Structure 1
Amino acid sequence: MAATESDRVAKARRVRLGNRVVVTEGLELSFWADVSHRCLTASWPSFIGGAALVFIIFNAFFALLYWLGDQPIANVPGGQYIDYLYFSIETLSTAGYGDMHPQTHYGHFIAAVELFTGIFSMSLMTGLIFARFSRPRARLLFADNPVISNHEGQQTLMIRLANERHNIIANATARLWLFKNGVSKEGMAYRRFYDLPLVQRESPALALSWTLFHVIGEDSPLHGLSAADLEAINAGLGVVVSGYDDLAAQTVHARRSYEHSDIRIGHRYAEILRTTDDGLIRIDYSRFHDTIEA
């Protein structure tokens, strides 16, 4: 039976792809189907909050099992649930202070199961935290707006970026794409992307700033397009930069996407580099995103 409109709306999910929000329908993916990916992509507050919630649930469950038994734990005054909860925390975390300990076969069995759960969960948590910290990431700052103006006597699309860490990213490479809507001969709408050639795709050592240049010649997909034309085709830009981080000894990647409304035609970037009287290079990052009319 075909799903009704209300069913599809109920199963719709919002996902963010770069700066674009997409609503997906008809794809049922349970939380546990890809829990490792969710743990790696969640924000740190969400990750820590989720881990704390799981810790509380586990301890509450095992404390309930102890509480249901016939005095399974020694030195529990009055057999109150809160005391079993404290013992569960000691056992699950493998702390074992020693004042409370199992004294029946039932208590030993539940404690053994909880110890295994604690060892397993701590190993899993250690791996997830290590994976989150060890993921190679480039701290690249991209200008808020691509600009189009004359450069070296030719109309050029320019995008400025900078290395926020000020370390060396060796053999940095950049690629730039144009995304736009199109209609096939059969009348089907589709989204196409075009690789925009750059004047210089590689940088031997990206440490400070780097401006990407795409000459808008007759063979460029952007040739002759105005701001209204870019809006009509719902144009967008995608930038991907990768390189070898000498400090982390890993290959790092960074990307940024732009909408057609972000592109400023007839503008150029404000100057941020200058040389001081003592020969030092000074970069003013407070003007990094500023553009001025060409």
Structure 2
Amino acid sequence: MINKIKDPGVGNASAQYAKRMLKPDGSFNLKYQNKPRKFTEAYHFLVNISWFYFFGLSFLVGFIINAVFALIYLLIGIEEITALSGSVVQDFFNAFFFSTQTFTTVGYGALAPQGWLSGMVASIESFLGLMLFAFVTGLIYGRFSKPRSAVRFSEHLILRDFKEHRAVMFRLVNDRKSVMIQPKISVTLMLSQPNDSGEYQNNFYLLNLERDAIDYLPTTWTVVHELDEESPLSGYSNEAIKKLHGELIIMMSYYDESFNQEVHKIHSYVLKEAQVDFKFVKAQNFNPEGTLILDYDLFDAIEPHKS
């Protein structure tokens, strides 16, 4: 019996020109409009952006803060820190260097505040620097300690003959050397189809899998959905399946010994990208010493399948 289910959370609304629901990286293909910005979301933003943007943003904020304080020192009078150079640009750089030394609490001693006003500003800046460094340190720890899945999904979705029927299949692998404990997976087929009114809507089907859970995963796992009489795709030809406005939404979870907790990973494939009559190249074999070898260069490799 075909297992049609209710909306799992992505919504029933669709359109003839609707794009895939999930991006290849597992994030939802969603744009927010008129969404109010909240300062409380800053932590979530800073923890989830890439390391490149995180450090780039950190250096930019640090530069702007020091530049602002350098201008303040110029307004107070650079002579309260060091002698006038006769050049505004050179005075600004002297103020900027002093600001950097104060902000980082390095204090080389070559430049020092000599008036009460510059000393007060320097005190405020050094306190601000300590606060921001503590904040950035907490963010770095949060980024390192945040549980992240090590699951890598195959680049290709395959559609080929399998046993007495056909099957769609993909495979996954652990990108770390740790072992995934009790991984389990569910695959939902989302089909965007017109209803009786001619409007497109999403229909959802929970697919039966050859295996939806294993005890541990040290190597690769090929996930197979057979197109038998209980499959919502059984009545379609290979060409018709590729023309369907359909997407496989995959949810995987497992216990990660590195983070000592359960970790989740979402991924998706669109049916139109399925490779017909191909199979995965074997990515593991034994060397002459009898040790099992997993070749990651072959993980995404496919070859023609001969019936």
CA–CA distance in 2 between the matches of 1:138 and 1:84?
46
Return the letter of the residue paired with 1:146. L
Aligned to 1:140: 151
CA distance 1:240–1:291, change in 2 (3 Å): farther
Q: Which residue does the alignment assign to 2:168?
A: 157
Gaps of 5+ in 2: 1-19, 86-90
Q: Per-residue deviation at 1:29?
A: 4.8
Q: Which whole-Å CA distance do the structure 1 matches of 2:21 and 2:193 have between them?
A: 22
**Larger RCO: Structure 1 or Structure 2 (Cα < 8 Å, ≥ 6 residues apart)?**
2
How far apart, CA to CA, are the structure 1 residues paired with 2:238 and 2:28? 22
For 1:260, give the aligned amino acid.
L
Displaced runs of 4 or more, over 4 A: 20-23, 28-33
What is the TM-score of this pair, normalised by structure 2? 0.80
**1:63-86: CA deviations, max 9, x gaps?**
111111145744x12162211111
8 Å CA contact retained: 1:179, 1:191: yes
- Displacement of 1:54 after TM fit? 0.7
User: Partner of 1:219 in structure 2?
Assistant: 230
Any idea what SS the aligned residue of 1:118 has? helix
Correspondence 1:119 to 2:125? no
State the Cα distance separating 1:207 from its structure 2 match: 1.1
Shift of 1:214: 1.5
Relative to structure 2, which stretch is displaced further, 168-177 or 154-163?
A: 154-163
1:210 aligns to what? Answer: 221
Letter in 1 for 2:303: T
- Cα distance in structure 2, aligned partners of 1:141 and 1:71: 57
CA distance in 2, matches of 1:135, 1:213: 31
Counterpart CA distance in 1 for 2:167 and 2:238 is 15
Identical-pair percentage: 26
Cα distance in structure 2, aligned partners of 1:150 and 1:232:
18
Q: Is the strand fraction higher in 1 or 2?
A: 1
Q: How many pairs are equivalent?
A: 279
Aligned Cα root-mean-square deviation (Å): 2.7
Instruction: Find the residue that maps to 1:96 and give its secondary structure.
Output: coil
**1:186/1:23 Cα in 2 relative to 1: closer, same or farther (>3 Å)?**
same
Q: Where do 1:230-241 residues align within 5 Å?
A: 230-241=241-252
CA–CA separation in structure 1 for the residues paired with 2:196 and 2:231: 22
1:123-179 Cα offsets, whole Å, 9 max, x none, are: 221122122222222322221112223334342222111112232111111121212
Is 1:194 equivalent to 2:175 in the alignment? no
Q: What's the counterpart of residue 252 of structure 1? A: 263
Match of 1:42 in 2: 49
Q: State whether residues 66 and 72 of structure 1, in contact with CA within 8 Å, keep that contact through their aligned partners in structure 2.
A: no
Cα deviation per residue 1:161-214 (whole Å; 9 max; x = unaligned)? 111223211111112121220233343322333221222211211111111122
Match of 2:108 among 97, 116, 123: 97
